[in-house]
Amino acid sequence: MRTVDLITRKRDGEELSAEELAYLVEGYTRGEIPDYQMSAFLMATFYSGMSEKEVGVMTELLLNSGERVDFSDIPGLKVDKHSTGGVGDKTSLIAAPIAAAAGVTVPMISGRALGHTGGTLDKLESIPGFRTNLTIDEFKAQVAKLKLAFVGQTPQIAPADGLLYALRDASGTVESIPLIASSIMSKKLAVGLDALILDVKVGTGAFMKKQVDARRLAQLMVAIGRRNGKRVQALITDMNQPLGYAIGNALEIMEVSQTLQNAGPIDLTRLSIEIAARMIHLGKIVPTIEEAREIAQRKLVDGSAYKKLKEVIKAQGGDPTVLDKFELLPNATGARDIVTTRGGYVSAVDAQVIGAASTLIGAGRNTKDDQIDHAVGVILEVKVGQKIDPGTILCRLYYRDEANVEEAADLVEDAFRISASAPEEREIILEVVS
């Protein structure tokens, strides 16, 4: 078998066999297939897609590149959630502690920043000392004790996904339904889950720009889950503007803290509660989704989810007081206000542009080996629907290195649309696929 032949066949739209896909994934994981050839294969897949059979094989290959963590000795149903990637999307850090505080066991395996979108692991690593690279034994022990732990791919858990994820990020091949579906589902199947809530984002800031594509992605992942005996529900949610106000790692941790103290943005709070409620319902803590919503709301309002996140931060080596004293988090040294000269209603805030600007000033990666600057990012000062006057600050860029600030400022200025009349209100949850 020759790698180049498989690349050209995929480029020409052919279906590859399980052996051929194994040759590519296993060869790349062993370091025998170079980045440039694997990137070409990913690009060919991006354009030609994969059959449902190929996606199933790809998921198995990524999954079998590592171990399966067995949680069967921990009582209760294991439930996780995963987002397909958004801008300002910090719901995992709110929904998971709510669900855990309600008694659900949540072995959460998360991802890093990808393209213009953020990653839960990078956000957590902005907390000084926080370790996302727990060993499998540490992961299991913490889940048994606290009902919640956050880890990423390790050399033990879906390592091939870790390698491909970084390569996709640097080769413009993220926005592919089969690659996203296999990436997410391989990680999730690696940690013996019983159920999973997927947050499939759609809109300017999502990898899926059209609802029909988001639906296809959701259906594919639900089907993979079902074939593997897992209960999977997918929410298709709006990502036409960033979620909440904060974009950037430490800035988002601050917003998580505010939200868990019941002082967060409405859109973020609403979505996090709905996701947590569905986790609570699938975890069979209560029989109806209505009761689950009440519990989720209560665990947020009474501070038990906030307390849970602090326990988890402490257990994973971080300093939980960062949630009260934001000065202990990495802080930017410079700030630039973006001000409007026009009055009217904010009718759009292009989430992709805001995410790209935030990456440009260091909050994300441009190459797979780039270091993230956890301190930097963007804080929106307005959201869609808000009435504004000329001179209103639209957002603030927080940076440490001046290098790309001008370019980022130009970008974000164009992200805001101001119109004479109020835009139609959009629902945050657009559809449920199960």
By the 8 A CB rule, do 278 and 289 touch?
A: yes
Using DSSP bridges, classify how beta strands 195-202 and 231-238 pair: parallel, antiparallel or unpaired.
parallel
Q: Between residue 164 and residue 183, which ones bind ligand URA under the rule CB under 6 A?
A: 165, 179-180, 183
Residue 165 CB, nearest distance to ligand URA (Å)? 6
Q: Which is nearer to ligand URA, 152 or 330 (CB)?
A: 152
**Which one of the listed residues 82, 112, 188, 281 is annotated catalytic?**
82
Residue nearest to ligand URA (CB): 183
Distance CA(81)–CA(199), nearest Å, equals 7
131 tagged catalytic: no
183 tagged catalytic: yes
For position 85 contacting ligand URA by CB under 6 A, the verdict is: yes
Q: Between residue 97 and residue 116, which ones bind ligand URA under the rule CB under 6 A?
A: 111, 114
Q: Between residue 323 and residue 362, which ones bind ligand URA under the rule CB under 6 A?
A: none
Q: Which is nearer to ligand URA, 84 or 105 (CB)?
A: 84
By the 8 A CB rule, do 273 and 101 touch?
A: no
Residue 184 CB, nearest distance to ligand URA (Å)? 5
Distance CA(261)–CA(264), nearest Å, equals 8
Question: H or E stretch including 233?
Answer: strand 231-238
For position 191 contacting ligand URA by CB under 6 A, the verdict is: no
Using DSSP bridges, classify how beta strands 334-339 and 429-433 pair: parallel, antiparallel or unpaired.
unpaired
161 tagged catalytic: yes
For position 184 contacting ligand URA by CB under 6 A, the verdict is: yes
Nearest to 88 by CA among 125, 121, 126, 116: 116
Q: Which is nearer to ligand URA, 179 or 195 (CB)?
A: 179
82 tagged catalytic: yes
By the 8 A CB rule, do 351 and 369 touch?
A: no
Nearest to 326 by CA among 382, 248, 409: 248
Strand residues in 249-294 grouped as ranges (E):
none
> How many alpha carbons fall within 13 Å on the CB side of residue 131?
12
Residue 327 CB, nearest distance to ligand URA (Å)? 31
187 tagged catalytic: yes
Q: Which residues are catalytic?
A: 82, 161, 168, 183, 187
Contact positions toward ligand URA, by CB under 6 A? 84-85, 111, 114, 165, 179-180, 183-184, 187
